[in-house]
Every structure is written in structure tokens, then in C-alpha cells.
Amino acid sequence: MIIILKNGQSPEQINELHDYLKQYNVKISEIQGEQTTIWGLVGDTTKIDIATIQAKDVVEDIRRVSEPYKIANRKFHPDDTVLEIGGNTVGGGHFNVIAGPCSVESEEQVIAVAKEVKKSGAKFLRGGAFKPRTSPYAFQGLHDEGLKYLLEAKKETGLPIVTEIMSLAHLDLFNDVDVIQVGARNMQNFELLKELGHCDKPILLKRGLANTLEEFLMSAEYIMAGGNTQVIFCERGIRTFETMTRNTLDLSAIPLLKHYSHLPVIVDPSHATGIPWLVEPLSLAAIACGADGLMIEVHNNPKLALCDGAQSLTPAQFDAVMKKVTAQAEFSGKTL
């Protein structure tokens, strides 16, 4: 950590800051400049709050040299995290596709889609029972009924289930779910993250619409700090000025997250763009730059979908995409 001091400050103020910092057991070295003095702090600075230092009169500027996350940090855990989930292996060179409808609408629908996506090579079934919707008047999901249908579909097909949690109050309902998804709008719902840190299920953590990669890493750290180290990142597009796509898919996130962290990284091209014919090219691109998996929306009747049908593939379209996805994953050296 580097602190830049203003010149011309009283020795008392400088001593006050010096004492404040010493309680963190860091070593402080000084460089004397013409207009500024620089302090270099050596030691564990994770617990030092940048804003608190910045508020002090004597401080011109401050910056971290090392990353503020530890358990999620590849520096301290050089090997890839590999998760075993319902018979599938995630991370460490393995490749998995999660597919299914945006929202669970009926038992028939979700079982039908599950069978189709399994046939095409999906390894997990996704489906929303609790749906975050911008409008209070839009369909909000079937809730516990929806979870029941997903588990029926799992019984029929053997596919492990990935589904989104929207509130701590529902946690008990997720006992038989295989992977709990945290949606983009909850990436910084810190109370939820903390609670998920105490459960023993893999968490699929989606990137927030306006969250930096460092914040994304810190949200994983929140969960991991509670003891649950089974976190999967999911890049799903960020909000920019571009209006032709719903969001801007940030594929640089894949190599960057894999560089700074040891956790698996998957990509959701369906939500990122909102345009079904972009799912194929962006899926291939995601694999080519290192994604450990994909999450793709498939609906057996997108035209009647109660939610976000616009971006869903039909089972036939999904099957065609999967052929190319499989070939690219093999080409990129992934284990299928």
C-alpha cells in the first residue's frame, strides 16, 4: 500500500497517522519529495480501509499494491478449483453446458426441455422458479411449485439443477438443488452472500450489470470468507451505452478472472445479448478464450414463454449450437 502525504503538515498530524497505521502491524518506509512525501506500507494491508486513510487531512492520495481478495486469489491458490457436482466435474479444463428455460412454467414444459437439452449434450438443467422482473406486474415465477417441477425433471433425466435464489427467506427450499444461482441484481446483496458462505452448495455467481471485475472477485471472497469455497463465476454482460444488444458481453473477463482467481468461469450469452442468433457466435468465442462452460436459455416454445422468450433457442436450434460448441471445446483442448 502506498500513501502520498501532502507537504507542509504538522508533525502531530503525521504522527497521528503513523500511530494509526502501526496498529495494523505494517512496516512504513518513507520517500521525501519536493511537493509530497510517499509512504510505502509493507505487510498485510487487507484490513486497512482506504477511505478512512483518505479522509485524513495529511493524505493526498492512497493506493493498494496488492489485491484486496485472498481466498479467491490465484496467488495463494495456484491450482484451479475443481468441483464435483451431481456427477459432473466443473473447472480444471472440464467443459459443461447448463441449459433450460428462463422460467419454469409447468411440469410438462420443464421435463420436456430437460430431455431435449440432455439429448443435445447439456450437463445441467437451469430454470427459474423465482424470477427477478423489472415490473411488479410481470410473471414472477412459480416459486416452490417451480422448484418441485425442476426436481421432477432431475428425477426423470438425472441432470443436476441450477436455479436462482432471490431471498434468504427461501433458503430452506433450496435443499435439494445442486447449484444455487445468485443473479446479477444480487451480486452485491451482501447479506445473501454471507449466508451462502455458510451453506455447502456450489454457488453460481453472476456479474452485476455495473460491477467491475474487482468487485466481482470481492463478492466471491464474501462467500468464501464464510467457508464455502465452491464458487463459479458467470459473465453475463455489462451495461454500456450500446443499445443494439441488451448488454455488452465482456469476454476479456474470462482470461482476467482465470488469471487473478482459481475459480471456474462460465458465460451466459443468452442474457448478455438478448438476441437468439448471437448465442452461437458468442458461445464459440467464449470457449476460444477459455470459458469453463456456458449457460444457454432453451424453451420448447419460445413464442409462448412467460418470460424473456425473446432470447431463448428452440431445442432444435440448441442442438445445432451444441454441435459447434462441442467441436470448438474439443479444439480448444477442453475435457467434455
What residues numbered 191-210 form the site for a copy of itself, per CB under 8 A?
191-194, 208-210
CB under 8 Å, gap of 24 or more: what pairs does 24-27 form? 24/48, 26/1
* Selected binder of a copy of itself within 21, 282, 296, 321 (CB under 8 A): 282
CA 234 from chain center: how many Å?
4
180 interacts with a copy of itself by CB under 8 A:
no
C-alpha dist (Å) from residue 245 to 95, 167, 221? 26, 29, 30
Beta-carbon contacts of residue 75 (< 8 Å; ≥ 6 apart): 67
2 interacts with a copy of itself by CB under 8 A:
yes
Q: How far is the CB of 144 from a copy of itself (least distance, A)?
A: 14
Rg (CA), the chain: 23
How many residues make up the chain in this entry?
336
CB-nearer residue toward a copy of itself: 20 or 87: 20
From its phi and psi, is residue 143 left (phi > 0), alpha (psi between -120 and 50) or beta?
Answer: left
CB-nearer residue toward a copy of itself: 105 or 160: 105
Q: How far is the CB of 34 from a copy of itself (least distance, A)?
A: 5
336 interacts with a copy of itself by CB under 8 A:
no
Are 56 and 18 in contact by the 8 Å Cβ rule? The answer is no
CB-nearer residue toward a copy of itself: 110 or 272: 272
Q: Quick one: which segment of 60-68, 84-92, 111-119, 315-323 binds a copy of itself (CB under 8 A)? A: 60-68
Q: Quick one: which segment of 78-86, 104-112, 148-156, 270-278 binds a copy of itself (CB under 8 A)? A: 270-278
CB-nearer residue toward a copy of itself: 27 or 155: 27
Residue 298 is classified by DSSP as B
CB-nearer residue toward a copy of itself: 203 or 254: 254
Q: How far is the CB of 207 from a copy of itself (least distance, A)?
A: 10
36 interacts with a copy of itself by CB under 8 A:
yes
35 interacts with a copy of itself by CB under 8 A:
yes
Q: How far is the CB of 288 from a copy of itself (least distance, A)?
A: 4
CB-nearer residue toward a copy of itself: 110 or 265: 265
Size of residue set near a copy of itself by CB under 8 A: 111
Judged by CB under 8 A, the chain residues 300 through 319 that form the site for a copy of itself are 302-312
Q: Quick one: which segment of 83-91, 114-122, 172-180, 276-284 binds a copy of itself (CB under 8 A)? A: 276-284
Angle at 161 between CA 233 and CA 304, to 5 degrees: 100
Site string for a copy of itself, 97-116 (x = CB under 8 A): --------------------
Burial class (CB in 10 A: 0-12, 13-18, 19+), 159: buried
The DSSP bridge partners found for residue 276 are: none
Q: Quick one: which segment of 46-54, 115-123, 149-157, 315-323 binds a copy of itself (CB under 8 A)? A: 46-54
The DSSP bridge partners found for residue 126 are: 162
CB-nearer residue toward a copy of itself: 16 or 80: 16
11 interacts with a copy of itself by CB under 8 A:
no
10 interacts with a copy of itself by CB under 8 A:
no
Beta-carbon contacts of residue 151 (< 8 Å; ≥ 6 apart): 161, 176
Residue-by-residue DSSP string for 163-196:
EEE--GGGGGGGTT-SEEEE-GGGTT-HHHHHHH
From its phi and psi, is residue 331 left (phi > 0), alpha (psi between -120 and 50) or beta?
Answer: alpha
261 interacts with a copy of itself by CB under 8 A:
no
